[in-house]
Amino acid sequence: MQEATLAVAAVERKNRERRGAAHGASPTKSRNSSSRESIFRIGLVRYKMDSSKQTLQRISGDESSCSGALQKEKDAKKSYVPRRLMIGKDEYVQIGNGNQLIRDPKKRTRILASEKVRWSLHTTRSRLARKRKYCQFFTRFGKCNKDDGKCPFIHDSSKIAVCTKFLNGLCFNPECKLTHKVIPERMPDCSYFLQGLCTNKVCPYRHVRVNPNASICEGYLRGYCADANEVLAYSLYSSNFLLLFDF
């Protein structure tokens, strides 16, 4: 009877030891699994990443037992460690003898610098595109509030609108901002002529016939039309027909 009791106790003790061993191995396996997730192989060398993901540290003793030419080939491969390594979207750089790689602190600076250069080029192109257009204020009124070089548009004195007071013989200002030079590119059409009512033999306005359904010429709205002789749109002005423009 006593021997049977001892035998049962021995079996139960072995079962407890077996369950304890199985229970103790489980977290180790979990830790190993977690460890494998942060281990990277570069060539034949393994690196372990710290929890902050800032550093890759070479795992020491990561040597396999090989002999002869195979060992030399492996050593040659192991001796090469790239100076820069991309892991996901992060870039790591080599420090020292290659036993350690750290996340590149200058990558963000380079990205910001690249974005700044790209934006600068975009701004320059936009300014050049605007620079090809004439300033509406300067062309229409002979002056611009940004005439100190800050205006992004072209200030061309040869495109300034003609002074209507001068056309009527009423402008005696030697510093008049508008031009006193009469050329077809600056001259509006005579509205009286279009109505068959102009009797002024020396009328300074253009006597041309245009389609009555034509729209107003945008060039003349700004004070200058390069296609004055070919344009088919209205460019009207008279002493009692004044177009007011809001730019």
Residue 119 phi/psi, 5-degree rounding, is -70, -35
Most confident of 23-32, 110-119, 163-172: 163-172
Residue type present at position 92: Y
What is the pTM (predicted TM-score) of this model?
0.37
pLDDT digits (tens, 9 = 90+) for 4-52: 666 667 767 776 666 543 333 333 333 444 444 577 776 667 777 777 7
Of all helices (H) and strands (E), which one includes residue 97?
none
The yes-or-no verdict on residue 196 having pLDDT over 70 is yes
Q: How far is CA 235 from the centre of its chain?
A: 42
Residue with tokens 């107003």: 216
Pick from 12-26, 71-85, 144-158, 178-192: least confident = 12-26
Q: Which of 61, 136, 138, 133 is CA-nearest to residue 99?
A: 61
DSSP output for 154-209: B--GGGPPBPHHHHTT----TT-SSB----TTTPPEEHHHHTT----TT--SB---
Most confident of 44-58, 117-131, 136-150, 203-217: 136-150
Instruction: For residue 216, count other CB atoms closer than 10 A to its CB.
Output: 12
Cα–Cα distances in Å, from 125 out to 10, 89, 114, 120, 136?
89, 31, 17, 9, 21
- Computed over every residue of the chain, the mean pLDDT equals 68
For the chain, how many residues are written? 247
